[in-house]
């Protein structure tokens, strides 16, 4: 079993060292990803999803720091790995697509040259061969006139086209793990659907494993085989996608599910769950979700629930305890 996992995260702790103290931005989080599968990570803005992606990429910077736990990629420990070795893994082992391509594309360099340089930085190939591959990659991300886009700078492209170039850059060195951090959040619905379709198609063709991050359960439901729900730095539910979508257990997951915008309905995701994600310097004493939870009891306000297993879900909620002690509620 263990060998099938391309990524194994165990008890990962990441803290922010701030004026307000050491804040637990990722709190003892454990996850696994099987080769070839897509792991969805969902949670509202500020729940630590991008921090988790940065931790996997080895890119946590001050004021953040990995303070505990382990991240194994293909059996290699990434926590504490030398910068030089991490750089080798980024690009050919793990690569990433961000929400806003402009932050990771060079605005002054043509798209073609950026892709060519990504190839030549990692592989010993001639420039002519690299150009050939870059053009083929640009075509495979659904751009019908690759030569034209090859010689354009990112600002000359639409948001959707830029995101396609970003995907081409991320996939050009055939990574075994692709992390997509809200890759379609900045795009309109039609373009979003095209990009999601593109990522699914490329994943099928290349067999790459994917971590797909979104605040939108609707998007996650189109992409993920397994889903991890994060709330304020904690894993609150973890199960197969099918299980999460058809029978969400944690009240937070249920809220995210209910917030999926229906067709033609303009709805702010945050409207369905009252309140907001707590500040890390002001976390509630008991269950972190309890101030927003309609099921909360006195116990929830005082005690932190652990992750427990319940019909194939891991869920952090007293509702699903096998033997709730007095004061707990039966599911």
Q: Is 180 in the site for ligand ADP (CB under 6 A)?
A: no
Q: How far is the CB of 276 from ligand ADP (least distance, A)?
A: 11
Q: Which residues pair with 76 in a beta bridge?
A: 73
Please give the Cα distance from 1 to 149 (Å, whole number). Answer: 44
- The residue (of 99 and 114) whose beta carbon lies closer to ligand ADP is 99
- The one-character DSSP state at 183 is T
Q: Given candidates 16, 134, 138, 235, which one binds ligand ADP under the rule CB under 6 A?
A: 16
Please give the Cα distance from 31 to 280 (Å, whole number). Answer: 22
Q: Which residue is nearest to Mg ion (CB)?
A: 50
Considering CB distances under 5 to 8 angstroms, the limit depending on partner class, which of ligand ADP, Mg ion, none binds residue 43?
Answer: ligand ADP
Binding interface with Mg ion (CB under 5 A): 49-50
Q: How far is the CB of 43 from ligand ADP (least distance, A)?
A: 6
Whether 230 and 30 have beta carbons less than 8 Å apart is answered as no
In the range 31-50, which residues lie near ligand ADP by CB under 6 A? Answer: 43, 45-50
Q: Is 177 in the site for ligand ADP (CB under 6 A)?
A: no
- The one-character DSSP state at 105 is S
- The residue (of 231 and 318) whose beta carbon lies closer to ligand ADP is 231
Q: How far is the CB of 299 from Mg ion (least distance, A)?
A: 32
- The residue (of 173 and 186) whose beta carbon lies closer to ligand ADP is 186
What six digits make up the tokens of 119? 């190839």
Q: Which residues pair with 278 in a beta bridge?
A: none
Per DSSP, which regions of 242-319 are E strands?
Answer: 308-310, 313-315
Please give the Cα distance from 178 to 27 (Å, whole number). Answer: 23
Q: Is 183 in the site for ligand ADP (CB under 6 A)?
A: no
Please give the Cα distance from 101 to 105 (Å, whole number). Answer: 6
Q: How far is the CB of 120 from ligand ADP (least distance, A)?
A: 32
Write down the residue that tokens 């795009």 correspond to.
187
In the range 243-282, which residues lie near ligand ADP by CB under 6 A? Answer: 280
Whether 7 and 18 have beta carbons less than 8 Å apart is answered as no
Q: Which residue is nearest to ligand ADP (CB)?
A: 50
Question: Would you tell me how many other CB atoms lie within 10 Å of the CB of residue 38?
Answer: 23
Question: Would you tell me which residues interact with ligand ADP (CB under 6 A)?
Answer: 16, 25, 43, 45-51, 63, 280
């Amino acid at each position: 079993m263990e060998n099938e996992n391309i990524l194994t995260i165990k008890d990962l702790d990441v803290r922010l060292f701030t004026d307000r103290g050491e804040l637990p931005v990722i709190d003892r989080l454990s996850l696994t990803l099987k080769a070839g599968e897509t792991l969805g990570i969902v949670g509202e803005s500020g729940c630590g999803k991008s921090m988790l992606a940065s931790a996997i990429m080895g890119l946590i910077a001050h004021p953040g720091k990995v303070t505990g736990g382990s991240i194994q990629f293909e059996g290699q420990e990434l926590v504490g790995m030398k910068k030089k070795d991490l750089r080798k893994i980024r690009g050919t082992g793990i690569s990433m697509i961000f929400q806003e391509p402009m932050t990771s594309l060079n605005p002054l360099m043509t798209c073609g040259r950026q892709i060519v340089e990504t190839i030549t930085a990692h592989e010993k190939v001639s420039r002519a061969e690299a150009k050939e591959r870059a053009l083929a990659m640009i075509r495979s991300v659904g751009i019908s006139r690759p030569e034209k886009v090859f010689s354009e700078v990112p600002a000359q492209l639409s948001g959707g086209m830029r995101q396609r170039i970003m995907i081409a850059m991320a996939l050009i060195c055939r990574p075994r793990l692709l992390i997509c951090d809200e890759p379609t959040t900045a795009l309109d619905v039609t373009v979003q659907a095209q990009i999601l379709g593109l990522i699914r198609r490329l994943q099928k063709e290349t067999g790459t494993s994917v971590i797909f991050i979104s605040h939108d359960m609707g998007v996650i439901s189109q992409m993920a085989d397994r889903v991890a729900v994060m709330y304020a730095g904690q894993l609150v539910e973890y199960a197969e996608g099918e299980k999460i979508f058809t029978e969400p257990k944690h009240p937070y997951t249920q809220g995210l599910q209910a917030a999926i915008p229906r067709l033609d309905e303009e709805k702010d995701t945050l409207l369905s769950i009252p309140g907001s994600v707590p500040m890390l310097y002001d976390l509630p004493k008991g269950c972190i979700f309890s101030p927003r939870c309609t099921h909360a009891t006195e116990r929830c306000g005082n005690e932190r629930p652990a992750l427990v297993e319940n019909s194939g879900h891991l869920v952090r909620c007293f509702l699903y305890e096998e033997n709730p002690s007095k004061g707990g509620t039966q599911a």
